[in-house]
Amino acid sequence: MNDPVDPSVSDKHIPVLLERCIALLEPAISMPGAVVVDATLGMGGHSFHMLNRFPDLTLIGLDRDTDALRIAGERLANFGDRVHLVHTVYDGIAKAIRKSGFKRVDGILFDLGVSSLQLDEADRGFAYAQDAPLDMRMNQNEGVQASEILATYSEGNLRRIFERYGEEKLAGRYARAIIAAREVKPILRSTELVQILSDATPAAVRQLRHPAKKVFQALRIEVNQELSVLDAAIPAAIDSLNVGGRLVVMSYHSLEDRLVKQDFAARSRSTAPADLPVELPEHRPELRLLTRGAEQASEQEREENPRSQSVRLRAVERVRIPE
């Protein structure tokens, strides 16, 4: 099915795995009176198509980025009171649902990582290929900027975040280079950081990959506390589903995917002791896995939409609510 597309944003924002997400959510969100949460609203790409395709659907859209909420609000304005937008980080999902007048919902979608809007806005500092102030905050009204982290973190702490959040093998070398460079002058712009990292990278490695990619990812995760937020958000999202409700999560690096996998696995297996002859209702799984492992985008989509290249999709259905 081809939905109408808003030309003002369609050329900038191609929703990742759009049809697969909708197909997984459809059994839950196509019912009369269904409610879906887009926990990472962005510019509203997935939300626009869900609302258009299911005329009885109500949407709760969450985003920490006020620019994203404004753009999505304009794009979704024609859907009227079917849309509830909430300015919050996605670990506030349960409170946002209650604020919108609901106890539980029928579908939830997470499209994690940096949004197309944030990548396209050069002055946000997310993209290492564009010169910009090193900000990287998804909510520019609060929090610590990437430049502050580079100016204040010790060599050990810089190495830690590069290793943990970027899985960067040259973390120690990069941390030392940053410490040395900031003693000369503050590191305030993306091009300055890229040059420091490039100078610290062996020529053989520079030929294989961009030296800044993993460091920029690590800084972004640290600035926005993405893993700690996700660690709280997934259990809260599961608890917010009705029986028969479905949760779809798209992640873009192994650390995110591992957290999602662990939460889904823990609540999709029985908690009954191994020697219990009969499984009691309270031990039955809360979730049913809808995907076998993590699904990836097709080769065609990866070519057409670069943002889909690293996506990993997992989905579950809620089958039981503990008493």
pLDDT at 141: 81
- Over residues 108-132, the mean pLDDT reads 72
pLDDT at 206: 85
pLDDT at 282: 65
- Over residues 95-109, the mean pLDDT reads 97
73 has binding-site annotation: no
Convert the pLDDT of each residue in 121-168 to its tens digit. Answer: 555 556 777 889 999 998 878 889 999 999 999 999 999 999 999 999
92 has binding-site annotation: no
Convert the pLDDT of each residue in 74-83 to its tens digit. Answer: 999 999 999 9
Element (H or E) spanning 317, and its range? Answer: strand 312-318
Share of the chain above pLDDT 70, in %: 88
Alpha carbon separation from 110 to 36, 54, 195 (Å, rounded): 11, 19, 34
56 has binding-site annotation: no
245 has binding-site annotation: no
Q: Which domains can be identified in the chain, with CATH numbers?
A: 7-117+226-318 (3.40.50.150), 122-224 (1.10.150.170)
Number of helices (H), then strands (E), belonging to the chain: the values are 15, 7
What own/partner pairs with CB < 8 Å and gap ≥ 24 does 227-231 have? 227/165, 227/255, 227/256, 227/259, 229/89, 229/90, 229/91, 230/90, 230/91, 230/112, 230/256, 230/259, 230/260, 231/259
Convert the pLDDT of each residue in 295-316 to its tens digit. Answer: 999 999 999 998 899 999 999 9
46 has binding-site annotation: yes
CB 206 within 8 A of CB 198: yes
pLDDT at 271: 62
Q: Quick check: 111 pLDDT over 90?
A: yes
- Over residues 182-194, the mean pLDDT reads 96
252 has binding-site annotation: no
pLDDT at 45: 94
- Over residues 179-197, the mean pLDDT reads 96
pLDDT at 95: 97
- Over residues 41-65, the mean pLDDT reads 96
44 has binding-site annotation: yes
